Amino acid sequence: MKILKIIVSVILFISPVLALNAQITVNQDRLKNRILNLAQFGIQENGETERVAFSDADLAAQKWVIEQLNSMNIENHIDFAGNVIGIRKGTKSNLKPISFGSHIDRVPHGGNYDGCVGSMAALEILQVLNENKVKTKHPLELIIFSNEEGGVMGSRAIAGHLGRSALGVKNSTGFTMGEGVMRLGGDTTRISEVTRKKGDVAAFLELHIEQGGILDKEKLNIGIVEGIVGLKWWNVEFNGFANHAGTTPMNARKDALLAASKFIIAVNDVATSFDGAQVATVGRISAESGAPNVIPGKVTTSLEIRDLSSEVIENVYAAIQKKAEEISAESGVEISFEKLDTTADPAIMDSSIQSEIEKSINSLGLSYKTMPSGAGHDAQDMALIAPTGMIFVPSKDGISHSPKEFTSATDMANGANVLLQTILSLDKKL
């Protein structure tokens, strides 16, 4: 009897391990090849890729993703916000989808992995489930979000808070978001129809590169994201007086570029004067008239502030505004701020999804840590309408938003396997 009991408990103990061995896993080479193929859309003579949202390269890449879905017999469409949606049917028609995906647009001079890893892993997961004839109860929904880098456009539309004014914001292609939506096959007059309510999505998961150096430095396989920073953007305008650079004495100038330079230093001073992990950046500047012999009369810069707390963002902004008033008073240059409708609020990831991700990581024998995300993601808007989780994989040397961005095929496959197992376990649980 005792022996029988021991045998039964050994079987009970090892059965999850046996089940794990039967786990299906993604095809690492195919995932890597898709990343390489995707990098061809927008490839330049120097071997680097440019694929800012709404560019011809972005449109061509979107078309290629749709071809991939068609070749897998995955029902698909482009929604009114220009998001690509693919649906793999579930066996229970009353259940809401488990959704996952990321973005394929890139920042100017960006890399091949930001957004692309999560998007290509989503395709790979659908393919591997098809090959293994796996049936899920829930429909599985792939989402390739439109214009993530220019203000998380597609996910904000789905979460129902893409304001009309956002549609007027231009990106570096020169197209406004409204024009971009139309170029991608959406429809600005019906964009509100893509909005989903709480409960319309059973769960949302995003796999993404870390874009920081923690996992790489600590030699960890996976990051479980606990929260995503909020980020706010402004255009800042400096209006001085354009005049002759040779005949105007130094004490009689209203030099907009000089005031902007002091402002840039002040932004850095303010951000570093607070305790905490807030960041503030001036990433873009343009000066008029742009001639060596003219005192710049007008300068425009960007301003971005990020933190896990909206209150901290507001406090940092207030302190920056105060500094700007001082710079304006002493220089005679008028400084004005225009808030852009591209904001993303801080988001906390769902704790039960975090623990499902943790179980998947353990089942695959991978190492991990829980961490915040300093980068913005579509997941932060999806968190407004669905229990949401994010899985990070290492970025070599922590480099991102750069052509030097790199994540190894093994790391990508590890992340994709964690995503796959989490989808399958949520399908059983929810």
Size of the site for ligand GLV (CB under 6 A): 3
d(CA 136, CA 178): 37
Strands 243-244 and 294-295 turn out to be antiparallel
Site string for Mn ion, 108-147 (x = CB under 5 A): ------xx--------------------------------
Q: CB 211 → ligand GLV: shortest distance, Å?
A: 7
Residue for token digits 């429909």? 139
79 binds, among ligand GLV, Mn ion, none (CB under 5 to 8 A by kind): none
- DSSP secondary-structure letter at 96? P
Q: CB 175 → Mn ion: shortest distance, Å?
A: 19
Residue 31 host element (H or E): helix 28-38
Contacts of 330 (CB under 8 A, 6+ apart): none
Nearest residue (CB) to ligand GLV, 90 versus 150? 150
Nearest residue (CB) to ligand GLV, 349 versus 375? 375
Nearest residue (CB) to Mn ion, 178 versus 376? 376
By the 10 Å C-beta count (0-12 exposed, 13-18 middle, 19+ buried), 341 is classed as: middle
Q: CB 30 → ligand GLV: shortest distance, Å?
A: 26
386 binds, among Mn ion, ligand GLV, none (CB under 5 to 8 A by kind): none
320 binds, among ligand GLV, Mn ion, none (CB under 5 to 8 A by kind): none
d(CA 290, CA 44): 28
d(CA 394, CA 209): 6
Query: Looking at beta carbons, which pairs linking 307-312 to residues 24 or more positions away fall under 8 Å?
Result: 307/229, 307/230, 307/276, 307/277, 307/278, 307/279, 307/346, 308/227, 308/228, 308/229, 308/230, 308/277, 308/346, 308/372, 309/230, 309/346, 310/230, 310/345, 310/346, 312/274, 312/276, 312/278
Whether the link from the prior residue into 328 is cis, omega within 30° of 0, is no
Q: CB 372 → ligand GLV: shortest distance, Å?
A: 12
Q: CB 193 → ligand GLV: shortest distance, Å?
A: 26
Nearest residue (CB) to Mn ion, 258 versus 344? 344
Nearest residue (CB) to ligand GLV, 346 versus 376? 376
| Residue in 194, 201, 287, 375 binding ligand GLV, rule: CB under 6 A | 375
204 and 142 in contact (C-beta within 8 Å)?
no
d(CA 107, CA 41): 14
Nearest residue (CB) to Mn ion, 34 versus 254? 34
408 and 113 in contact (C-beta within 8 Å)?
no
Establish if 154 lies at the interface with Mn ion (CB under 5 A): no
Backbone angles phi, psi at 75, to 5 degrees: -60, 135
Site string for ligand GLV, 239-268 (x = CB under 6 A): ------------------------------
The residue sitting closest to ligand GLV, measured at its beta carbon, is 375
Binding to Mn ion, residues 86-115 (CB under 5 A):
114-115
Q: Roughly what angle, to the nearest 10 degrees, separates helices 409-429 and 351-363?
A: 120
Nearest residue (CB) to Mn ion, 104 versus 266? 104
Establish if 117 lies at the interface with ligand GLV (CB under 6 A): no
Q: CB 268 → ligand GLV: shortest distance, Å?
A: 18
Establish if 405 lies at the interface with Mn ion (CB under 5 A): no
Establish if 376 lies at the interface with ligand GLV (CB under 6 A): yes
d(CA 323, CA 282): 15
Q: CB 376 → ligand GLV: shortest distance, Å?
A: 4
The letter for the amino acid at 304 is E
Nearest residue (CB) to Mn ion, 114 versus 307? 114
- DSSP secondary-structure letter at 74? -
d(CA 78, CA 68): 14
Nearest residue (CB) to ligand GLV, 149 versus 216? 149
The residue sitting closest to Mn ion, measured at its beta carbon, is 115
Binding to ligand GLV, residues 139-178 (CB under 6 A):
149
Interface ranges with ligand GLV (CB under 6 A): 149, 375-376
Q: Where on the chain is the footprint of Mn ion (CB under 5 A)?
A: 114-115
